[in-house]
Amino acid sequence: MPRRCKIDEAKLAKLLQPGSSVATHAELQATGIPRSTITFRIGVNGPWQRILPGVVLAHRGTPTMFERRLAAQKYGGEDSVITGLDALAEFGVRSARKHRPDRVHVLINHKRQRTS
């Protein structure tokens, strides 16, 4: 009989709220989801998708701009921050919302090694 892992459902529901359902592999594993399950769910026929290395979008389809920004920040690490027009748009500056760049601008710690 396969061994079942104890998943903290409340923690998982809070992490993957609708509209901001972005999580890192480490965050998902902290809820009790095994790495193999994460890999299975982001597979070809799975319900999730990989949005950045080590970052999962918990639905299929096009991510919202908010989800893209959240994924970029999670990819950058705890001490990263969204900057530029992306930050202004999140704070509600109307003129920044009109500009929909193809990229999300994130400042990260110089000690981290991340690629674009």
- In order along its 116 residues, the chain shows pLDDT tens digits of 466 778 888 898 898 888 889 999 999 999 999 999 999 999 999 999 999 999 999 999 999 888 999 999 999 988 899 888 888 888 888 777 666 667 888 888 888 777 76
Phi/psi for 101 (5° steps) reads: -70, 155
Q: Quick one: pLDDT at residue 101?
A: 66
Q: Quick one: pLDDT at residue 113?
A: 74
12-21: which pairs have CB atoms within 8 A and are 24 or more residues apart?
16/58, 19/64, 19/66, 19/67, 20/66, 20/67, 20/70, 21/57, 21/58, 21/59, 21/67
DSSP 8-state secondary structure symbol assigned to residue 23: E
* Count of all residues that appear for the chain in the document: 116
Q: Quick one: pLDDT at residue 1?
A: 46
Is the separation of the CB atoms in 40 and 46 below 8 Å? yes
